A and B are shown apart, each in its own frame.
Chain A
Amino acid sequence: MQIIIVVLLSILTILIIGLLLWKWRVRRQFRKEEQKRRLRELELTAIRSQMNPHFLFNSLNSVQNLVQQNKGREAHLYLSDFAGLIRKVLNNSEKEEVSLAEELELIRQYLNLEKLRFDFEFEVLVDETIDAHNTQVPSLLLQPFVENAIVHGLQNKRGEKHLKIDVMKKDAFVLITITDNGIGRKAAKEIQQQKNGKGTKLMKERLNILQQKQGEKYKLTTTDLEEGTLVEIVLPEEK
């Protein structure tokens, strides 16, 4: 009799443990799927914000203005940048990550177009120890930060406007900094009552999910400078 009870109890325990294990696995799978879905959503939002009508039509308007002024050569080159940018966004839309070299090329084209609208200077410097063609980054990583710097920082400034992107090696990590000498976040908020920095918030969330998924740490900080704003992005080394 006792043996039967012991056997029954053991079977019951095994069943319960099995059930819990199964439930745990299903939940983990579900969380993974959920993560994937949200990541996809965020990628699409990033594409949509790059393709925002305001930017597209104002860029075309700047090109039209060049045609109006009979600056054929400039119009030709800006149109090439415009086409190149749209082509890249379309091509990269199916990719979770792109090479750092591709991302920087896209940003250069974006900056060339925005420069035409807002008239500022920019430079993009990459440390020569970095193999940009063989370093992977989340697609459209830099665009929301660069857009913020231009639209909120530089647009409302008088005098010399400058934006600088630095890509450096920091121990095993890659550090990307975006520095502008604009009016700063506080002043920008006062001018612009509407919500700003939605794009950067979404990018933060994307980096967080990637971090959970890959088990590697991304870091993102924004600092107010005496004049302007500094954004630092630290990318983990691919191990």
Chain B
Amino acid sequence: MQIKSIIVDDEKHGRENLAGLLESHCPEVILVGLANSVKSAIQLIKNEKPQLVFLDIEMPGENGFQLLEHFADINFEVIFVTAYDNYAIKAIRFSAADYILKPINFNELKTAVEKVTKRIQKKEENRQIRELNRNILQPDNPRIGLPTNDRIEFVEVKKIVHCKGESNYTHIYLHEKKHLLVAKTLVEFEDLLKEYSFVRTHKSHLVNLKHVVAYSKTDGGTLELSNSDKIFISRRRKDEVLQMLKTSIA
């Protein structure tokens, strides 16, 4: 299979390096153009109709995310390419979109291209990008992308009651007793969710404080949640959890 692609990056070395790596490691990727700004990329996408866009995020003028806002329907795949920007990487991970980091590791590049190729073959819609756009435009009620067995579920963050880590998987407990098993570590969820009033109460528990209905002192401290699950607070985290609970109620 051949994948018609373009690279968008304001830096010449960035474009050349990625083009070179694609040539030697991803022969299925056929480059039909390079763009050095969002403006030139829009024209290039309209003319060439690529299936895949390698998109740098930090660029002078409009950034990579803003490029997407120019298209009502995004009918191409996107692999974000970024050096270091916590805000942008967080937004991408939140929506479970595909990205690679600079300096590029060819193994990571190959994995990302394989994932996208599968979606193109199955003619699946790239919902991650749509959700990413939505989250950026409506930051008050974000939806998080949860990759389960064979698909990605998008769930409103406020509906997550708590998460439980088990090896490199995480159990996500939603209200109404719904439950998902996701192939990501608890640490990743802690990173993404801590700004939405989630707190680690124990080495393997992450709790949404908005769902706490009661705190009891039994067994050194337990939180009762809206789905009537009871979560244990470890001794070393007790002060911090209670402090956060106080501020979240206030």
Contact = CB atoms under 8 A, between A and B. Distances in A.
Interface stretch (B122-130, B164-172, B209-217): B164-172
B247 interface: no
Given A83-B103, A134-B203, A238 B167 contact: no
Contact of A76 (B86, B106, B168, B185): B106
Interface residues of B, number: 21
A214 B236 CA distance: 5
Given A131-B166, A134-B203, A238 B234 contact: yes
Interface size grouping (class) on chain A: 20 to 34
B235 A239 contact: yes
B22 to A, nearest CB: 14
B105 A134 contact: no
Given A83-B101, A133-B185, A136-B203, A216 B167 contact: no
B192 to A, nearest CB: 13
A133 B235 contact: no
B101 A87 contact: yes
Contacts of A215: 235-236
Interface in A188-231: 213-216
B204 A239 contact: no
A126 B103 CA distance: 29
A131 B167 CA distance: 5
Interface string B158-201: 00000001111000000000000000011100000000000000
A175 interface: no
Contact of A101 (B166, B185, B202): B185
8 contacts: A98-B187, A134-B203, A213-B236, A214-B235, A214-B236, A238-B202, A238-B236, A239-B234
Interface of B: 84, 86, 101-103, 105-106, 165-168, 185-187, 202-204, 220, 234-236
